[in-house]
A and B are shown apart, each in its own frame.
Chain A
Amino acid sequence: MKVLVVVEDEEDMRRMIFALLTRDPRLVVTGHATTAAEAIEAAASLSPGLIVLDHFIEGPVTGLEAAPSLKQVAPAAKIILFSAHDLSSEARRSPDIDAYLQKDQPQKLLPLAQSLLGLGPIAA
């Protein structure tokens, strides 16, 4: 079972991400956060294998700004920057972001998560 943390301040998006990821029974979302501080606390306590990180979240610290701290408290966690903004360049430049996916391609979220966690697709 792979533990996931979702950092997303919009309720609808958070539920969508939860539903998309848990289509794979091997993944379990045990924590969610709406601010960078909550995300760091959750990552420190849960040691997740994957963090799905939005960029524009509540509070003064953005997702990209929080990524280094998340890696510090959960070094083993892979981080997917999942944002409606075009942040491909910023994500490429950040050593703490393992993958970037724009929100208008939600169908790619699960395959990307499985890939980062070393899991193959779910058997039909």
Chain B
Amino acid sequence: MASEVKEFLEAVQVVQTALFLGLALVVGLQWLKHRDQASAWAAATFGVLGAVAVAGRFLPEESTELVLARELLIAVLLLFPYLLYRFARVFRAAPRWIDVTAALLTAAVCTVIFFFDEVPGEGDPRPTSFLLYSLAILVQWAFLSALVSVWLWKAGSGRPTVIRRRMRTLSLGAASLFAAILISVAAGPSPEEPGGAEALSALVAFISGPLFLLGAAPPSIVLALWRRPEELALYEAEAALMAATSTDEVAQGLLPHVARTIGARGATLTAHNGTELAAYGDMSPAGDTASAPVLMELRSATLSVATDSFTPFFGREEVGLLTRLSSLTDVALRRAELADRERATAAELETANVSMREFVAIASHDLRTPVAAIKGYAELLTDGSDVANKEFAATIIRQADHLSRIVDDLLTVSRIDSGALEPQRAQLALREVVYEVVADLGVSDSTAVEGVDGLVVLADPDHLRRMLRNLLENAQNYGEPPVEIVACSSDGAVEIRVCDRGAGIAPDFESRLFERFARSSKAISRSKHGTGLGLSIVRGLARAGGGDAWYERRPEGACFGVRLPVSGGDRE
């Protein structure tokens, strides 16, 4: 049984030595990579542990000629708790008396060992002086280990998972190593055959190895497992950034998650011109654990994260996660900027449209009123008996009518452009409206109407009359009789075609038919009364009412169509 325990202990010590050596190498590489104070003290601390573990394996236990070597080994081992204390001191301040006490205690125990002629081996009796010395070692180790354990354990509260677990596993490692020493000292001199206490001490000491490794230099797979709660926060942050449509939303989606990921007290997003875009939490220095903020330069802003002294060492990998967010934040900020500009442009456009609508309302009154007065008084002049004056008055009325039509056309086009049209749609019997317009224009004799019976359209009555009037006037002015108005149902709408038998539209002018102020040379020569807005108005009114207008090439003449929605009352 005792030999089995001995073999087990031997195996444990071999593995432990490998662990401590591996830990020393890993932490040493960390220091070579980062070259900061915390890494330096960590490298020293675990380097000492690794060196002692390896040296202890090769130092013969029974040799009396290597007393100095064993004493040196003990002295170096006794440096471990002090170095661990100095490592913890990088992260927080301590009262001066603790610094002095730690240094003096360590100096004392490291020095006194050399005054012993020999170090009692396993099974050797322990003289009183050595027992007192052992007590001093216990006090030194307990004092420093307890201090570090409590500091690291308490400091882990409220931190992201990775940082918290690293700090607390280090804390547990220090505590377990002290516990191993305590068990060993309490058990007394080692018997020739190893017993339960020695096994327990070895096991507890062994546990410290993986705990130190997980705390000081956890492998990536462990980090990934520990990081899972914060990974969810990162995914949420990425989703929030993808959905953000304003700088505010970007900041709100980014800052809380950044703070949560690395346990920051606060974070700010500042544009490169110095404007603070958003702030979260508290950016003020945090007492005795103050540390410079972590800065991350984005393309259009700077992310500043208020951390404390623990974060650069324990949260190093978590800070690296922020780069994952930074490129996404750049894209989100750019998109938000574009969205902000789009909103500003839309607001400007709306303001311009409102101004245009106000102008149309004012111009409508201010232009039409004088025209009305001109026509009205001219109308009164026609009552006179003088023939010449009557002719002059008739001319005034004719020209005033022309002016009135131009004003009407311009105001209608302005309304179409500014979206101020507001069609008042109603169910209209197409037959009535068509015959009314034909009669108004006095073109009944030269116009054939077909297919309008029983058709009902959903349209603004004034707009429909205007469209029909414009098309009929065009047909009369630029085409040849007879003019045909043909209506039919088609795919849930009503199509009205106004066709003449004239020369039609020149092919090179077809594409410009519905443009503003577009008039073919033939139209200009035949009629001096057009503004070139008629067809543009027809299409604008048709589209505002949910329909459309178009031109159809025919073998003979020109044919214009208007499509209007129906209300459900089709041909009987």
CB within 8 Å of B: which residues of A? 10, 12-13, 16-17, 19-20, 23, 56, 84-86, 88-89, 92-93, 102-107
Contact = CB atoms under 8 A, between A and B. Distances in A.
A23 B377 CA distance: 13
B424 A104 contact: no
Interface size class of B (residues with CB under 8 A): 20 to 34
Interface of chain B: mostly helix, strand, loop or mixed: helix
A90 to B, nearest CB: 9
Nearest to A56: B365
Contacts, number: 64
Contacts of A17: 376
Going nearest first, the 6 A-B pairs with the smallest beta carbon separation are: A103-B372, A106-B376, A84-B368, A16-B376, A89-B424, A104-B404
12 contacts: A13-B372, A13-B373, A16-B372, A16-B376, A16-B377, A84-B365, A88-B461, A92-B424, A102-B368, A103-B376, A104-B407, A106-B376
Contacts of A106: 372, 375-376, 379
Nearest to A88: B462
B380 A84 contact: no
Interface string B342-354: 0000000000000
B383 interface: yes
Given A16-B377, A86-B364, A88-B462, A104 B383 contact: no
Nearest to A104: B404
A17 B404 CA distance: 19
Nearest to A10: B369
A96 to B, nearest CB: 18
Interface of chain A: mostly helix, strand, loop or mixed: helix
A105 B380 CA distance: 13
Given A19-B377, A106-B372, A107-B375, 6 more contacts: A84-B368, A86-B364, A86-B462, A93-B424, A104-B375, A104-B407
B396 to A, nearest CB: 12
Given A104-B404, A107-B397, A19 B380 contact: yes
A16 B373 contact: yes
B376 A20 contact: yes
Given A10-B369, A104-B372, A20 B380 contact: yes
Nearest to B383: A23
Contacts of B422: 89
A84 B408 CA distance: 11
A107 B379 contact: yes
B26 to A, nearest CB: 83
Contacts of B372: 13, 16, 84, 102-104, 106
A12 B370 CA distance: 10
Contacts of A13: 369, 372-373, 376
